[in-house]
Amino acid sequence: MTDDELMSVAREVAGRAYCPYSGFRVGAALLSRSGQVHAGCNVENASYGVTICAERGALMSGRAAEGEEFAIARVALCLPGIPREELPAGGWPCGACRQALAEFASDEVMVLSTGEDPGFMVTSTMGELLPMAFRGAVLK
Ligand code: THU
């Protein structure tokens, strides 16, 4: 699975976002260590705080599909509302999603992001996005 293939899944699922309140679409595609792809989009709610981000939607799907095998190998995000010049600073998961992803992703896991321009991709790592992640009392 190439980065471009994983990203095309993220872009496709962003098109299925339910975001009537913010108008801001997000798609996430997680490649698991076993080679499966799990996708999610943001699903908003009239009670705004009930909204689920794309990344956490994909995460729940991954664990539900793979159970104890589930571990994240790569993350692709698509935020089609973000112009190219804003992507490097603003095209990353929210804090809650960074923490949620870190439960199943090591610091070395690559995070790829695209915005409005499908030809422009930025990359980071989980460790860069969430340094010194909280991992509880159990050492992993
Ligand atoms: N959103 C995500 O899906 N992922 C993020 O990492 C940041 C925010 C969604 C939540 C809400 O539906 C919309 O983007 C605006 O905040």
* pLDDT tens sequence for the chain (140 residues): 999 999 999 999 999 999 999 999 999 999 999 999 999 999 999 999 999 999 999 999 999 999 999 999 999 999 999 999 999 999 999 999 999 999 999 999 999 999 999 999 999 999 999 999 999 876 55
Which residue out of 55, 68, 69, 108 is catalytically annotated? 55
> What's residue 140's pLDDT?
54
**Are 113 and 77 spatial neighbours (Cβ–Cβ below 8 Å)?**
yes
Strand ranges (E), the chain: 27-32, 37-41, 72-78, 110-114, 121-125
CA nearest ligand 1 atom 10, residue: 53
> What's residue 139's pLDDT?
55
Q: Is the dihedral of CA 24, 25, 29, 30 positive or negative?
A: positive
- Tell me, in angstroms, the distance from the centre of ligand 1 to residue 138's CA: 30
Report the alpha-carbon distance of residue 59 to residue 77 in Å, rounded. Answer: 13
Ligand 1 in reach of 44 Cβ (< 6 A): yes
CA nearest ligand 1 atom 1, residue: 53
44 annotated active-site: no
Pairing of strands 110-114, 27-32: unpaired
> What's residue 138's pLDDT?
61
> What's residue 137's pLDDT?
76
Report the alpha-carbon distance of residue 96 to residue 20 in Å, rounded. Answer: 21
> What's residue 89's pLDDT?
97
CA nearest ligand 1 atom 7, residue: 94
**What is the value of pTM for the model shown?**
0.96
